[in-house]
Structure 1
């Protein structure tokens, strides 16, 4: 580059001075030219020139070049504070306050205590850090205690424990708040025994809820600790100790209303009856991996009445050394109900012992395709207050008669024993309860083809609101279409779940949906539908939305025959023929579409949303 006529001095100070004058006038481009020339001169004061050039770059908005010159200053002389100040300034202008604070902190670490520029850097660092810190107010001091207690009710025990570690003030406040210590949940949480002992001590004997699954080494110690808590109302306890050791402690909790128990070596029938007899306030008894014994003449006497018992849930397991086939197990009782209805009394008298039982769930473990436990459904018909019945891997013996007031029924992997080849004979005289609202059928071997149609149409009124068919290969789309077109039994259906019906296609949905005017949720994973179905569902939503607006404005009457399903949720994992564009279109039109695999366990779905 040819020299400018003004740039003819040999003294670098003149270039620096003239460059500063140009910078003050706003001529930054020419000012940079003079700074560059100043650096080329002999005996140039590099730090002064870089300091001014970094300032000019900052004025021009070239913060990366300004930062580069500042770093060069620090590298040239780390004890000159101007380099740190210029670097921090460039970073602040670039909206990087965290980086600028780091530069100030590094400068304070490098510069000696008596450095002339240290006080300025300390002041700038303090102002910057204070500005970066958000304004924090202690909610326990600002908010009224009543409001704080209301908020704390929505927090789980684990969160409260973390809050106690924030500061001593929070720790004292939370220790004075009794509510969290009434409900302690240690289940699947790696909490040392010492800490568990401390938390239990803080409840001051008023513990109401306890959930724990201690390790094999700690189980006996935990039982010893909780022995004195006589006010426990809800206990969820799982361990590998023998049932006798656990029950020695648990049977002293006379206030128990809910007991969820899983012990090692199984839970015998004697133990179950002891629990029901010794804990009269029990409303829910849930036994995990309970083992039934072959001791018919057990010493325990069933209680005469259990008026508080509302839910009995048992996961029935087989003794390892016993054969695992159905029907022929020698230790199986003649009346194969692992509940208090097993004494030497008539069926009606047995059910009179549990007059308020609303939920019965019995499950046999999955140990083989033929595994099941025998159950006489005739015995259940006396359960007039039963609302929920869930049966897993049951072999029905004798006539199939459902309790009369059932509202939810789940049959999973059930069969007849002995099997009846004629499908019509399997369901001869079988009628669904007249108040049934929810039905789950999964691989029920004796309900198929025309039998499925006959079973559903046995409902006298269209009370069914939820229907789930899972792994039900004996029911095809035309069975459903024939059902809805020739009967009104599914007219009030709100939730339809059909999984594994691979032949279900767009044409089938077009024939099916108009007959389900109240449908809100449609779950059809692993089917053959395409984007055509999504478009059709969106069109139905539009038609029904318009109709509802006219009904609200009283332009037309609410004619049931004109209703169309307004589907809000569509579940389609495993539908490989659906394009992403179709899914995005449906979502853009307000349809909630779930493509991911259903995370809820099979057991959760089959129990109507009731977890073990």
Structure 2
């Protein structure tokens, strides 16, 4: 039987696409491109090497080992296979096996092979490592640039621990002012005194660029802010500690003229007017998050302090836990969000509105009037929003992620939750890759069909959790898409159907057959048994080209036995219970 003719140009194109995706950090897309290239030519050593490296980036070492072993089998005289296989084994912690691969490579490669020297050097280093090696002070043995790069990988907490090793290390680290550009108190196990922050700023020679302040005594917050205000290069500030005097906080924070990002945690109470004032006074802000806005803009004059134009803001988070009994309308929450041709936030990419606890009618999300549009959002997250019937029609085509928690649709209770409350529209969402509904009562067969089928969205992550008005059989009907309204549904890799009725072993079998690329699956609080776990675990041993499930969540699944869970984990399936 003749061998299939290899389309070398197509292989090269797919390999370049995978390499570009890898450089851009989109490892899953890189895997898909390299896999398609190997479908054209499964003996291409270079493509196998690329895919193995990408699997390493995803920490999927079993797949990386398989590709590397295939390289060695196809080209025993090529050093790349041995080098890749040994590296994968080292990353996976199998140093003894990596040493054996280097030794085996030196036996198989010809005497004059150019790769023998490198393999010999790596083998020597690995033997030294396994034997304990010669212990030397790394800060005296390494070049200054390498030592600096290495230290840059440590967290603030780790750096603080390194300071206590010896006086020599303390002196060496103190002299590296660039190492002290970000004070981060996140990992502190106890209250941090304000004097420690002062010491850190001193080490940076007052050139601090970022600060994450948490776990300090509230009374010391003003002192810490005062010290930070003296750092002219500070661009990123996250304050997760309480401030006992909100007016003083506002007066101080607007002095930080160079800030590009600010996060005010739930312990920082700010009025709606103060939030607008901060945005107006700090025009360089690109990211802003306020998690405790304590009053509500029930009158138009409350919004006067907000900026008429803020072209730099790209991410905005507004959080609160206060209900407005008078019926809060959204245009006052973020004034100027809607527009006809010009927006107050023309470059806004991420908007998150978090009302917690998320009541069904915490606030009415009606951001645009007739003829207006939203900014080119990429991410929209709503918690506790009562959306309008035109909600789907106002979503921008740029949207990539939509997350919806709790909430309702205005007037949805009329006639129950069985109908389609969304205004009919021909809108499509060509960039929507992540769609999450959690405890959203208006999600049903009709409304979900709009987001999954009519939108033509290229979804990769879909969660429909705790949505009690859609049943398993209805969900399967949409996902199977018999009329092929949206072929992209078959490419979903991350699926959540927690607490969905009618989801049992049979339903999961249909889901698995319909969605061959699944790698993450959440079946929490469903009727599955251990049969589902065993079925999904067994697919990991199949040689099919389809993806293998990596993570399975089964919290609250009483029908799954401990034996089934142990079996799945022994097969390499990560199971969360």
Task: Give 3-state SS (helix, strand or coil) of 1:149's partner.
Answer: helix
The structure 1 residue matched to 2:364, chosen from 359, 363, 374, is 374
Matched, 1:594 2:556: no
Which of 244, 247, 252 is the aligned partner of 2:250?
Answer: 247
| 3-state SS, counterpart of residue 468 of structure 1 | strand
Compared CA separation, residues 500 and 226, structure 1 to 2 (3 A): same
CA distance in 2, matches of 1:364, 1:505: 34
Correspondence 1:163 to 2:162: yes
Does structure 1 retain, via aligned residues, the 8 Å contact 2:183–2:197? no
How much does 1:261 deviate?
1.3
Kept after mapping to 1: 8 A contact 2:443/2:467: no
Q: Distance in 2 between matches of 1:515 and 1:157?
A: 46
Tell me how far apart the structure 2 counterparts of residues 282 and 542 of structure 1 sit (CA, whole Å).
51
The answer (yes or no) to whether the contact 2:365–2:385 under 8 Å persists in 1 is: yes
State the 1:198 CA deviation.
Answer: 1.8
**Aligned match of 1:297 in 287, 292, 301?**
301
Who wins on radius of gyration, i.e. which is larger? Answer: 1
Q: Where does residue 443 of structure 2 map in the other structure?
A: 447
- Kept in 2: contact 1:480–1:512 (CA 8 A): no
Paired residues of 2:260 and 2:287 also in contact (CA < 8 A): yes
Secondary structure of 1:501's aligned partner:
coil
Alignment equivalent of 1:388, drawn from 375, 379, 383: 379
Where 2:293 maps in the other structure, the secondary structure is strand
User: Contact (CA 8 Å) 1:272, 1:339: kept in 2 or not?
Assistant: no
> Using the alignment, how far apart are the partners of 1:529 and 1:298 within structure 2?
52
* CA distance in 2 between partners of 1:167 and 1:134 (Å): 22
**What is the rounded CA distance, in whole Å, between the counterparts of 2:433 and 2:440 in structure 1?**
19
SS of corresponding position for 1:510: helix
Give the match for residue 437 of structure 1.
433
Give the 5 Å matches for 1:43-82: none
Contact 1:336 1:374 in 2 (8 A): no
Q: What is the distance in 2 between the residues matched to 1:395 and 1:358?
A: 22
1:376-402 Cα deviation digits (max 9, x unpaired): 154597224101000000012352232
Does the Cα contact within 8 Å between 1:357 and 1:386 map onto a contact in 2? yes
Report whether the alignment pairs 1:221 with 2:223.
Answer: yes
Question: What is residue 50 of structure 2 aligned with on the other side?
Answer: none
Q: Which whole-Å CA distance do the structure 2 matches of 1:353 and 1:454 have between them?
A: 30
The answer on 1:193 being equivalent to 2:186 is no
User: Normalized against structure 2, the TM-score is what?
Assistant: 0.69
| 2-structure distance, mates of 1:568, 1:217 | 47
Distance 1:529 1:250, change over 3 A: same
Structure 1 match to 2:474: 479
Q: CA offset at residue 298 of structure 1?
A: 4.4
**SS in structure 2 opposite 1:313?**
strand
Structure 1 segments unaligned to the other structure (5+ residues): 1-132, 319-323, 549-563, 597-612
Q: Tell me the SS of whatever aligns to 1:140.
A: helix
Structure 1 CA distance for aligned equivalents of residues 436 and 369 of structure 2: 21
Change (3 A) 1:432 1:365: farther
Q: Pick closer, same or farther for the CA change 1:196–1:509 going to 2, 3 Å.
A: same
* 1:378 to 1:193, Cα distance in 2 relative to 1, 3 A: closer
Residue pair 1:453, 1:479 contacting (<8 A) in 2 also: no
What residue in structure 1 maps to residue 562 of structure 2?
580
SS in 2 for 1:395: strand
Partner Cα distance (2:360, 2:379) in 1: 25
SS where residue 286 of structure 1 aligns? Answer: strand
Match of 1:260 among 241, 260, 263: 263
Q: What is the aligned partner in structure 2 of residue 570 from structure 1?
A: 552
In the aligned structure 1, how far is the partner of 2:162 from the partner of 2:501? 51
- Counterpart Cα distance in 2 of 1:448 and 1:475: 5
Greater shift, 246-255 or 532-541, is seen at: 532-541
What is residue 212 of structure 2 aligned with on the other side? 211
Distance 1:585 1:299 in 2: 59
Aligned to 2:463: 468
> Equivalences for 1:90-489 in 2 at 5 Å?
136-187=135-186, 189=188, 190-213=191-214, 214-237=216-239, 238-262=241-265, 266-291=269-294, 292-298=296-302, 300-318=304-322, 324=323, 328-329=326-327, 332=328, 334-341=329-336, 347-348=339-340, 352-366=343-357, 369-378=359-368, 382-397=373-388, 399-400=390-391, 401=393, 402-422=395-415, 423-429=418-424, 433-460=429-456, 463-487=458-482, 488=484, 489=486
Question: Which stretch shifts more, 507-516 or 271-280?
Answer: 271-280
Q: CA RMSD in A?
A: 2.7
- Whole-angstrom distance in 2 between the partners of 1:518 and 1:340: 42
- Specify the SS of the correspondent of 2:208: coil
CA distance in 1, matches of 2:306, 2:171: 49
Task: Give the structure 2 partner of residue 57 of structure 1.
Answer: none
Tell me how far 1:502 sits from its aligned partner. Answer: 5.4
Q: Cα distance 1:264–1:578, how it changes in 2: closer, same or farther (>3 A)?
A: closer
1:13-52 correspondence to structure 2 within 5 Å: none
Residues 446-504 of structure 1, C-alpha deviations (whole Å, 9 max, x = no match): 222443334422123x5111101121122221012211233444211111011122542
* Local SS of the residue matching 1:141: helix
Compared with structure 1, are the counterparts of its residues 526 and 162 closer, same or farther at alpha carbon in structure 2 (3 Å cutoff)? same
Distance 1:510 1:565, change over 3 A: farther
